[in-house]
């Protein structure tokens, strides 16, 4: 398993596609899957279009519209953005798996893998596990 | 040889900070709800004596970390001047009263008055069933474990100062003025004050003993500082009065240049200048230090970071300006503990004779009046 570090500069989407491609190529596995896992409760990982950066903002806006940061969350031991972040993380998900074929990560031409930060800026990690033969 | 209980208290502060830290942090997470923090538009910190020093020492920290206008005031001002003139809606004003015993009349009065005028009130106290605590809407328990021997207090002050800093960090992270990572870094930096203090208590012992000779032989002493270190200057002067009864006072560093610079007998006026290297007042401190040297005053300029221009550095690394008051105040208690008041000198004049406080209302039996 490879553990990668990322320092988010605030809330939002941070592309990590290259680090996953690199991990896949480095391990030499030709057929299998790669699992990307985010070991945090206020962050997530997702696949979205990487063609237009403004599209990132649309996704952020919609997630914030669905789960606005409120002051009346029941979870108050941490902060309101932390409480909202837990819900966003649960909905978006902290893990994805992608197919490896011919030693290559199988992503559509416009797709990218993104670390989704909901309580930044933070020092974060994500894990990459490649399984196959 | 008699035990020096004040010195022992000063030496115990690093372990006290470590001992109290975790529970104090947990309590600051739970004391106010998120909506209560978001509703706050003004903060009033009030206290008497050492607790006032803790309030003043935290004023800048709250202002910086929360962006909420914050005032630290004496209990008398809070009770009789501020409370009756609170702007509306008063529930958006959070008033935090600090008193270890919760028993001084003026603190009970101020807490009662502020609650009656609609402010959200918090009692930061070691006695959760004290009259002040009962007059507050919420109680935040803060207590330093008992320590042997009666002496001018340092531990109660340190416990209150630590808790106020943690509360300011808590406000900042909930309000989003600082991120959770920044809050975590600040908490770590605050806890590191114990290490800084521990190092300083060792490295400063000899120079402090030397300067304590000047203080012992003088009938007056002046303590200078600005911002949060103005509070340390006040704390230090108070400890001088309590410990040896010397006429001692605190002055803002800039105000000194306007006023006390012109005092007679400069050579008989030992002066301690608090000059934290990362504090906004630092450049002015260096200028005032020059003036003190020209005047011929026995002077001790305390700083942190690299020692320069004859100052005594208490720590190789600069201290976060948000927390300087805790470190400098406790160190000043250490310095004062070495001052020799003479063979007949007892702390608080042994509360005897005219100092017995039996023939006049004292701070606890003073009449409570509400305006």
Segments making up each domain of chain A, as ranges? 2-132
What is the DSSP track for B151-198?
Answer: -S-SHHHHHHHHHHHHHHHHHHHHHTSS-HHHHHHHHHHHHHHHHHHH
Tell me which of 3.40.225.10, 3.40.50.10490, 1.10.645.10, 3.30.70.1290 is the CATH number of domain B204-340. Answer: 3.40.50.10490
The distance of B13 to chain A (nearest Cα, Å) reads 28
Which pair of tokens denotes residue B63? 């202002």
List of chain B residues whose C-beta atoms are within 8 Å of the C-beta of residue A120 = 179
Q: Residue B88's pLDDT is what?
A: 62
Q: CA A78, CA B5: separation in Å to the nearest integer?
A: 40
The CATH class for the domain spanning A2-132 reads mainly beta
Q: Residue B66's pLDDT is what?
A: 96
Q: Residue B217's pLDDT is what?
A: 87
Q: Identify the H or E element spanning B280.
A: none
Q: Residue A107's pLDDT is what?
A: 96
Average pLDDT over residues A52-74: 94
Do the first three CATH levels of B5-198 and B204-340 match, i.e. the same topology?
yes
Cβ-defined contact of B34 to A73 (cutoff 8 Å): yes
- Quote ipTM for the complex: 0.72
- Using DSSP's 3-state secondary structure scheme, residue B73 falls into strand
The answer to whether residues A133 and A61 touch, using CB atoms and an 8 Å cutoff, is: no
| pLDDT tens-digit map of A9-30 | 999 999 999 999 999 999 999 9
Q: Residue B307's pLDDT is what?
A: 77
Spans of all domains in chain B = 5-198, 204-340
In the predicted model, residues of chain B with pLDDT beneath 50 are: none
The CATH class for the domain spanning B5-198 reads alpha beta
| pLDDT tens-digit map of B219-271 | 999 999 999 999 999 999 999 999 999 999 999 999 999 999 999 999 999 99
CB proximity list for B324: less than 8 A, separation 6 or greater? B228, B229, B232, B274, B276, B279, B304
Of B29, B37, B176, the CB nearest to A77: B29
Q: CA B240, CA B237: separation in Å to the nearest integer?
A: 5
Cβ-defined contact of B34 to A123 (cutoff 8 Å): no
| pLDDT tens-digit map of B71-106 | 999 999 999 999 999 876 777 999 999 999 999 999
- Using DSSP's 3-state secondary structure scheme, residue B298 falls into coil
Cβ-defined contact of B180 to A71 (cutoff 8 Å): no
């Amino acid at each position: 398993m490879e553990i990668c570090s990322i320092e988010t500069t605030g809330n939002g989407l941070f592309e990590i596609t290259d680090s996953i491609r690199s991990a896949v190529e480095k391990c030499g596995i030709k057929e299998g899957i790669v699992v990307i896992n985010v070991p945090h409760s206020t962050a997530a990982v997702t696949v979205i279009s990487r063609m237009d950066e403004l599209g990132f903002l649309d996704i952020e806006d919609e997630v914030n519209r669905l789960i606005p940061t409120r002051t009346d969350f029941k979870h108050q031991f941490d902060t309101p953005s932390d409480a909202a972040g837990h819900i966003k993380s649960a909905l978006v998900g902290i893990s994805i798996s992608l197919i490896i074929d011919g030693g290559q990560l199988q992503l559509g031409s416009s797709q990218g893998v993104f670390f989704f930060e909901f309580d930044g800026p933070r020092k974060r990690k994500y894990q990459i596990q490649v399984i196959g033969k | 040889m008699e035990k020096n209980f004040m010195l022992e208290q000063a030496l115990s502060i690093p372990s006290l900070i470590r001992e109290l830290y975790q529970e104090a942090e947990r309590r600051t997470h739970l004391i106010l709800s998120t909506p209560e923090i978001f509703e706050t538009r003004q903060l009033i910190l009030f206290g008497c004596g050492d607790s006032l020093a803790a309030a003043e020492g935290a004023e800048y920290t709250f202002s910086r970390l929360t962006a909420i206008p914050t005032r630290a005031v004496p209990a008398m001002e809070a009770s009789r001047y501020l409370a009756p003139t609170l702007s509306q809606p008063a529930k958006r004003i959070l008033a935090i009263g600090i008193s270890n015993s919760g028993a001084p009349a003026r603190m009970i009065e101020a807490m009662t008055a502020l609650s009656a005028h609609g402010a959200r009130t918090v009692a930061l106290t070691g006695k959760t069933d004290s009259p002040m605590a009962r007059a507050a809407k919420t109680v935040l328990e803060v207590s330093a474990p008992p320590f042997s021997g009666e002496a001018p207090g340092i531990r109660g002050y340190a416990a209150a100062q630590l808790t106020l800093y943690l509360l300011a960090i808590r406000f900042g992270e909930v309000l989003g003025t600082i991120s959770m990572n920044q809050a975590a870094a600040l908490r770590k930096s605050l806890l590191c004050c114990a290490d800084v203090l521990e190092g300083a208590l060792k490295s400063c012992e000899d120079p402090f003993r030397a300067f304590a000779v000047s203080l012992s032989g003088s009938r007056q002493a002046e303590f200078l500082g600005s911002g949060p270190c103005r509070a340390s200057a006040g704390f230090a002067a108070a400890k001088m009065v309590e410990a040896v009864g010397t006429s001692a006072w605190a002055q803002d560093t800039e105000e000194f240049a306007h006023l006390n610079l012109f005092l007679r007998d400069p050579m008989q006026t030992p002066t301690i200048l608090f000059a934290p290297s990362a504090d906004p007042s630092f450049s002015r401190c260096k200028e005032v230090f020059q003036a003190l040297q020209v005047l011929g005053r026995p002077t001790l300029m305390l700083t942190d970071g690299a020692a320069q221009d004859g100052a005594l550095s208490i720590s190789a690394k600069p201290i976060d300006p948000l927390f300087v008051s805790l470190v400098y105040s406790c160190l000043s208690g250490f310095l004062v503990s070495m001052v020799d008041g003479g063979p007949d000198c007892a702390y608080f004049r042994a509360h005897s004779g005219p100092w017995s406080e039996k023939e006049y209302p004292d701070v606890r039996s003073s009449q409570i009046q509400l305006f």
